[in-house]
């Protein structure tokens, strides 16, 4: 028997600006289920405006954990850490209680592996490649990865220079298909959401917007919990810390 329940999903935009919140909600609202209630949170202006550097990930880490803990206490069904780096994903999952936590990279590669035999990830800068490649290998999908192709553009370029960014993404997508024999293309930055529809029309293979894919994966996991009672494991490597200690740390 299917259970009809509104599923609550939180999108965590893990940067120090609220500038893109409404853009993200508007984009995802075109794809979310009618029974999904989608909220978004971002952080204070003193934090980095992008996560292109490992040190920036460390700076936003405590704020992500506070948002995860708060969402768990407020009974959200799933939360998405909205960066393709899958920032502190394991730590976030460790403290999420019954709530699912989704990383856009992991959601995208799992989905891509079900759509084709190989995939290529389009990234902004070469700087991003080592971290993303390590994540993909850790997730067990290195055998599907044909390439990580850079367009030599920053997150700011993705946000502010549509024509240039679109042309480079299209060029590298075609090269990934022709030269690397990629059967699926993944947009390896959540800031690439605005290019998804136009690129999709031009490519002969499936294209994954990591933002949309993360949302749909979160809905799937939330539905699995609501309909089947399947919740995150809390034994062995998934054992959470004492929550009294954790809450004291997060208040500091």
Distance CA 171, CA 67 (A): 38
Query: What does pLDDT average to over the chain?
Result: 95
Residues of each domain in the chain carrying CATH 3.40.50.12500: 105-210
Return left, alpha or beta for 97; rule: phi > 0 is left, psi -120 to 50 is alpha, else beta: left
Write out pLDDT tens, residues 153-175.
999 889 888 999 999 999 999 99
CATH 3.30.565.10: does it fit domain 7-103+212-251?
Answer: no
Region 142-160 average pLDDT: 94
Distance CA 153, CA 164 (A): 9
Residues of each domain in the chain carrying CATH 3.40.50.1860: 7-103+212-251
Cα–Cα distance list, 101 to 4, 93, 124, 162 (Å): 21, 6, 25, 31
Res 3 pLDDT > 60: no
Instruction: Supply the pTM of this predicted model.
Output: 0.94
Q: Which residue has the higher pLDDT, 45 or 250?
A: 45
Beta bridge partners of 9: 38, 78
Write out pLDDT tens, residues 57-99.
999 999 999 999 999 999 999 999 999 999 999 999 999 999 9
Task: DSSP letter for 5, please.
Answer: -
Q: Which residue has the tokens 């035999």?
A: 117
CB 167: neighbour CB atoms within 10 A? 12
Distance CA 216, CA 134 (A): 24
- CATH topology for the 105-210 domain: Rossmann fold (3.40.50)
Beta bridge partners of 41: 12
């Amino acid at each position: 028997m299917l259970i009809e329940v509104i599923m609550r999903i939180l999108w965590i935009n893990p940067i120090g600006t609220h500038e893109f919140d409404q853009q993200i909600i508007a984009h995802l609202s075109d794809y979310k289920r009618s029974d999904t209630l989608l909220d978004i949170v971002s952080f204070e202006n003193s934090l980095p405006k992008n996560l292109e550097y490992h040190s920036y990930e460390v700076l936003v880490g405590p704020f992500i954990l506070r948002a995860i803990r708060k969402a768990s206490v407020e009974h959200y069904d799933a939360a998405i850490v909205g960066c393709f780096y899958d920032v502190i994903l394991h730590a976030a999952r460790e403290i999420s209680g019954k709530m699912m936590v989704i990383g856009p990279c992991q959601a995208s590669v799992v989905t891509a592996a079900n759509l084709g035999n190989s995939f290529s990830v389009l990234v902004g800068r070469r700087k991003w490649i080592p971290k993303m490649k390590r994540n993909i290998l850790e997730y067990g999908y290195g055998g599907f990865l044909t390439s990580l192709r850079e367009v030599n553009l920053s997150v700011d370029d993705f946000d502010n220079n549509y024509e240039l960014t679109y042309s480079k993404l299209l060029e590298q997508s075609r090269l990934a298909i022709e030269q690397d024999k990629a059967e699926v293309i993944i947009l390896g930055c959540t800031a690439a959401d605005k290019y998804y529809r136009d690129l999709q029309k031009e490519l002969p293979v499936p294209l994954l917007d990591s933002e949309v894919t993360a949302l749909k994966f979160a809905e799937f996991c939330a539905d699995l919990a609501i309909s089947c009672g399947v919740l995150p494991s809390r034994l062995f490597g998934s054992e959470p810390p004492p929550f009294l200690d954790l809450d004291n740390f997060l208040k500091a």
